[in-house]
Chain A
Amino acid sequence: MSKNRENRVQFLELIAAKIRRNVLDICMQRGGYAGQGVALAEIAACLYFDELRPDENQWFYDRFVMSNGHDAIMSYGALAVHGSYSIEELRTYNADGTKIDQSPIEGQLGFEITAGSLGQGPSQAAGIAYGERLKASDKRIYCLFSDGEIQEGNVWEAAMFAGHQKLSNLVYIIDNNNLGATGSTQEILGVEPVPEKFEAFGFAARRINGNSVEEVLEAFEEAKQTSNKPYAMVCDTRLFEGISCLQSALPTAHYVAVDDADWQAGLDEINQRISDLTAQACN
């Protein structure tokens, strides 16, 4: 790896660790989707801090569509690092009267669509991509959705449309964590083989380790090199990846209630990781 590349990876790993800490900080107040937020930290770091091009207002030029809603916790964690949300306001997540919805409504900073009724992001992202292309804009459109959402027919209608329209400005990022609301997606309604399915619908697709900064960066690169086709990044992840004590305590917790988790042990682990990475960066 070149020095530059190495620095970039290290930088993003540190961001990912900070995202994880923010996710715990937010969810430990009143519960939340901590496992997903933690597991998606590398994807969020690469997306918000490397892939999405900035605009002149400290915001993003490219467009990101959060489809499933509850993964908003990932965005909250990242946008707190970015500085566009304060951790204090994010701590009202799940409180009565909060503006920080667990599944956001269209118009909230960072969220293009009303999510929460799952499976409706891929079509809207395809629509945005189609419209941007029609305007001859060079904006790229990224949509994060989950393996649970893949069970919704709407997702495949979207994929067929995107493939047919050859939306090469569209990237689907799939959180393939083998988990739905009540257990393993493979057991409830199998979704695999995910990359092959998207290929059959006209995508270029690749399965990656969603917790490897390098693999995420490579896939984003490959997506940009792909012409004439939309791209599907199938990110294998595991709930709470990156915080081992919580992962072993809550391996399948779609939702974590406040008293379910040993938050402090998780925080200690991630704070240690942040200091290690910071020390490494200074060396």
Chain B
Amino acid sequence: MLLTGERSLDSAPFDEISFDLCSHRRDVIIMSADLSKYTQIVRVKEELPDQHLDVGMAEQNLISVAAGISKAGFVPVATTFACYATRRAYDQMIICMGTSPRTNIVIGFMPGIANPARIHHQAAEDLGMVRAIPNATVIDPMDVTDFKQALDAAVDIPGLTYIRGHRGATPRILDPDRFHFELGKTYQLRQGSGVGIITTGLASQWGLESSDLLEQRGTSHSLLHVPTIKPVNEDEIAEFCFAHEQIVTIENHQIVTGLGSLVSEIVSSIGGGPRITRLGLPNSWAPGGTLGYIRGQLGLDADSLAKTIEGVLQ
């Protein structure tokens, strides 16, 4: 069992994660673009001030200065909201970081509908964007446990790594004693037959919620958490898919270019295989508001998801 018995909530996950990392890796520099408070960077700023740098609200400069800092021998961790990290500074990400062998880490917080302000703050295409960069590493952690472990791993990965960050009350779902993040590895959280649910990031939480409902209703299913979007272990995904009649992917992202696309690409390159239903943000702008409201509007609340999943078996 990879899941914790009792789920706890961490109210400021990145504060601790960044501080722990900086305490044992003195070459790491956590960078902000006037959002340190909003990404919950407090202790590093106060207690390890040499390991924090704020460039002001200038995301293109954030990414480019970070790349420069990596070229001086440090490991930059550039942080901002996902929308600015990717959309605003995409070319800088590709040119300054994507072509470099040096370790460059970018964390995009509040991705997809984890942000209440519609359109401009809701990066629902960031996974696809970074996934399209050759040799980039892309990670969408589901909770405090794999967020921390993914970042700890990323400081030793050459080139560009993009991680989706969690802020605010974030659950600990994966047991840190039993879950061990490995780049590319996939993690089966529920085992069954019939429908195979594949999720990543925040949507792995949604997947678990709907899995609980399915279990109560006696609908057999499996749930696979895929934190690494790139480079993923394709064999593990293929094996999971071909072991089920139907596959449903769920992601806090556009249903194009992200997890659903990744799974479809892997299965279609083999041929045959199950039908794949991709759930996530449709090809229209998501509404704004509280996460619960937005999920309800998009059919991504636990109940709607469970119904959709049952529906594909009919």
A residues at B contact (CB < 8 Å): 69, 95-98, 101-103, 105, 114-119, 148-149, 151-153, 180-182, 185, 188-189
Asked whether, in the complex, the Cβ of A185 is within 8 Å of the Cβ of B56, the reply is: yes
B57 x A153 contact (CB < 8 A): no
Least Cβ–Cβ distance between B102 and chain A, in angstroms:
23
A97 surroundings in chain B (CB, below 8 A): 287, 289, 293
Residues of B within 8 A of A181 (CB): 34-35, 37-38, 57
Stretch at the interface among B82-90, B155-163, B223-231, B274-282: B82-90
Q: A96-B293, A151-B34, A153-B61 are in contact. Are A116 and B56 (CB under 8 A)?
A: no
Compute the total of residue contacts between A and B using a CB distance below 8 Å: 74
Contact A101 B118 (CB under 8 A): yes
Asked if B56 and A117 make an inter-chain contact with CB atoms under 8 angstroms apart, the answer reads no
B132 within 8 A of A: no
- Nearest residue (CB) in B for A189 is B56
Main secondary structure of the interface of A (DSSP, over half): loop
Interface residues of B in 19-71 (CB under 8 A from A): 32, 34-38, 54-61
Of chain A, the residue at the smallest CB distance from B59 is: A152
Residues of chain B lying within 8 A (CB to CB) of residue A101: 117-118, 288
Q: Are A116 and B35 in contact (CB under 8 A)?
A: no
Q: Are B119 and A105 in contact (CB under 8 A)?
A: yes
- Give B311 Cβ to nearest chain A Cβ, in Å: 26
A185's closest neighbor in chain B, by CB? B56
Among A116, A153, A182, contact of B34 (Cβ-Cβ < 8 Å): A182
Chain B residue nearest to A255 (CB atoms) is B38
Asked if A118 meets B119 with Cβ closer than 8 Å, knowing A96-B290, A96-B293, A188-B34, the reply is no
Which B residues touch A69, using CB under 8 A?
Answer: 120
Residue of A96, A103, A151 touching B57 (CB-CB under 8 A): A151
Chain A residues with CB below 8 A from B289, complex form: 95-98
Q: Is B121 an interface residue (CB 8 A)?
A: yes
Are A148 and B88 interface neighbours, CB within 8 A?
Answer: no
25 inter-chain pairs at a CB distance below 8 angstroms, sorted by A residue, are A98-B288, A103-B121, A105-B119, A114-B120, A115-B120, A116-B120, A117-B121, A119-B57, A148-B56, A151-B34, A152-B59, A153-B58, A153-B60, A153-B61, A180-B56, A182-B32, A182-B36, A182-B37, A182-B54, A188-B54, A188-B56, A189-B34, A189-B54, A189-B55, A189-B57
